Amino acid sequence: MPAKRATKSPSNPERSLKAISGFVSDKTADEFHRLLNDRVRLGILSSLAVSPRLSFTELKTLLGATDGNLSVHARKLESAGYIGCEKTFEGRIPRTQFTITGKGRKSLNRYLKHMEALIKATSS
């Protein structure tokens, strides 16, 4: 029979649950967490939150992502309405520029508040 592990319980579990319940109880929580709990997608949104417009190449360099990886993640964020994508050509060279939308900024802020609440609830 395995030995029982001692677990540290929060000093006030009701307060801890209350602190994070607003972020995890709504119906969009699954989609929200699925979209932003990925390093590349969170990196895209975070980068665009501090720079109004970034090119595909700039994001690729900042995040250390491959073309295919960045493309797939950016498409998911675009489909969710979190980022905008503008494709143009300079001669025959394609140029892709990304911007964060209002919905994307709101979602990023919500995600950050959620993480802060989790950290606060688990470090008390």
Q: State the Cα–Cα distance between residues 76 and 121, nearest whole angstrom.
A: 30
Q: State the Cα–Cα distance between residues 42 and 81, nearest whole angstrom.
A: 14
What CATH number is associated with residue 75? 1.10.10.10
What integer best gives the mean pLDDT of the chain? 83
Flag whether 75 is in a domain: yes
Domain count along the chain: 1
Scored b (16 or more CB within 10 A) or e, 19-38 reads bbeebeeeeeeeebeebbee
Q: Which residue has the higher pLDDT, 124 or 20?
A: 124
For 104, the domain range is: 30-123
Q: Which residue has the higher pLDDT, 87 or 34?
A: 87
Q: Are 121 and 10 in contact (CB under 8 A)?
A: yes
Q: State the Cα–Cα distance between residues 117 and 19, nearest whole angstrom.
A: 6
Flag whether 25 is in a domain: no
Flag whether 65 is in a domain: yes
Q: What is the pTM of this model?
A: 0.75
Q: Which residue has the higher pLDDT, 17 or 30?
A: 30
The per-residue pLDDT for range 7-28, each reduced to its tens digit, is 444 455 455 445 555 555 555 5
